[in-house]
Chains A and B, each alone.
Chain A
Amino acid sequence: MLGVFRSELLKLRKSPIWWLIFVSPALSTLVAYAEFYPEDLLPWHISLSMIAMVHGLLFLPLLTGVFAAFVCRFEHAGGGWKQLLALPVSRSSVFLVKFAMVMGILLVIQLLVCAGLLAVGFFKGFPMPVPWDVITRSLLGSWIACLPLAALQMGVSVAWSNFAAPMALNVIFTLPSILIANSEKYGPYYPWAQPALAMLPREAESFGAFNVPLESLFFVIAGSFVIFFAAGYSYFLRKPV
């Protein structure tokens, strides 16, 4: 298992793709910085909401798909699946490690977003102390909300060899969340809207589905994760290579 993990890490490091982790945090920081805040509002909360609309609504779900497709790229190119699975490693550990890689990359991205937010806060003199509980809940919550999406994308990425095909599926489901996230009734049940909904600081903004308690989002996230992960995992165990 450790060997599989180290080989995945090496494959990632040798590729220019890991630079992608900086794209969304940089843009989020820029958006949070460009926004003007009246003194009396909660600037930390509003910055987080702004970041949720840029980073959580589109980048996070879409990048999940890019990274899931990416960790399978070397295997699809030039018959790598055969080589990898001929090694004395179990299929389940290959799948689990690839999935863990995707979630690990996303966690690094969340940490970078946090760093960007803190930098903006210190630079613009937001009121201290830093509301760590709100920030942690928001960034960690949206990371957890990516679990079902990563599971689904891993499943289709091991199945389809064309890199753009899993991305197409990802976009088909992610774009509608621009509309669906606004809906009070349907937003909470749509897995692709969860990263944005979970990222919004709980008490700041409240319109549409944006004021749903984290607990009810959790059931949708956990439920869709179990279904997507079971489907992708059991498919990969049987997949002919």
Chain B
Amino acid sequence: MTGFGRVFSSDLLKLRRTFVWGLAVLGPVGVIALQAVNFMLRYDWLTKLYAEDLWGGLIDNVKWLGVPALMIGLAIVASMMAGYEHQTNAWKQTLALPISRTAVYTGKIAALLVLLLISCTLLAIGTVLLGVLLGFGADVPVGKILSSSYLPLLAAMPFVSLQVWLSVTMKNQAVPLTIGILGTVFNLYSSSLNEWFPWRWPYLLEGAWSPFMTVVAGLAVGALLYGVGMNHFRVKDVN
């Protein structure tokens, strides 16, 4: 295996007995459960409101709760993953291994992305199940569900890169977590912001930018921050 492959699998191994996995499952399950309660309690009113597009209404409702959950979830998981190293002062040990720092850093991001992809997949499955259970019919808009489950993650790539960068390079995890919280609150009230604010991107709202353009912007800024973060990590002193 290459250095990166080994780091990546060791990162996933480190998480095995922790409740990080639980969080990755609980996030989407919680969002779907809350929407299930929401739709069951207000079934008549909501089905009247979304009468011409029941599935679309459900997908939008899931998105309005799922995106903030994604934003804060990625900050928490990034911090927890880096926290295990900070807590046991294990950075020295990890970096003493014959593996490049680039591989170590990339391994962390890759492990986080795997967890987030699992969350997005569960969210898509949960949306379909909930819609069918609510009796919204068998013509499931698969494409729409897939894009509203996975595209927010791509548009949120700047935050994935940023939170990994902050969590890995700062010993005091209060700082990255607070920045994550701040970002989530910004994100919740971002629909009136200008297209250039990345906090708005994960919702993929129709506006001056098409969803495709938003995703491209997310990936580009995400890649840029990944490069900046990795360069910082490569030259940083570790103690």
Contact = CB atoms under 8 A, between A and B. Distances in A.
Interface of A: 15-17, 20, 23, 27, 31, 54, 58-59, 62-63, 66, 69-70, 73, 76-77, 161-165, 167-168, 171-172, 175-176, 178-179, 183
B34 A179 contact: yes
A183 B162 CA distance: 35
A54 B189 contact: yes
Interface in B160-213: 172-175, 177-178, 181-182, 184-185, 188-189
Contacts of B173: 163-164
Contacts, number: 78
Given A62-B181, A178-B65, 7 more contacts: A15-B172, A58-B188, A63-B181, A162-B83, A162-B87, A164-B77, A164-B177
Interface of B: 19, 23, 26, 30, 34, 38, 41, 65, 68-69, 72-73, 76-77, 79-80, 83-84, 87, 172-175, 177-178, 181-182, 184-185, 188-189
Contact of B80 (A16, A23, A162): A162
A66 B178 contact: yes
A172 B33 CA distance: 13
A87 to B, nearest CB: 23
Given A17-B174, A23-B178, A73-B174, A59 B185 contact: yes
A37 to B, nearest CB: 17
A71 B83 CA distance: 17
A63 B83 CA distance: 19
The main secondary structure of chain A at its interface with chain B is helix
A69 B72 CA distance: 17
A124 B68 CA distance: 33
Contacts of A15: 172
Contact of A66 (B73, B83, B177, B188): B177
Given A15-B172, A162-B84, A168-B80, A175 B69 contact: yes
Contacts of B73: 171
B80 A161 contact: no
18 contacts: A15-B172, A16-B172, A17-B172, A54-B185, A59-B185, A66-B178, A66-B181, A69-B174, A73-B174, A164-B80, A165-B80, A167-B177, A168-B76, A168-B80, A172-B30, A175-B30, A175-B72, A179-B65
Contacts of A172: 26, 30
A163 B72 CA distance: 15
B179 to A, nearest CB: 10
A171 B174 contact: no
Of B26, B65, B69, B178, most buried by chain A (CB within 10 Å of CB) is B178
Nearest to A160: B19
Contact of A164 (B34, B83, B182, B189): B83
A86 B26 CA distance: 39
Nearest to B167: A164
Nearest to B185: A58
Contacts of B72: 171, 175
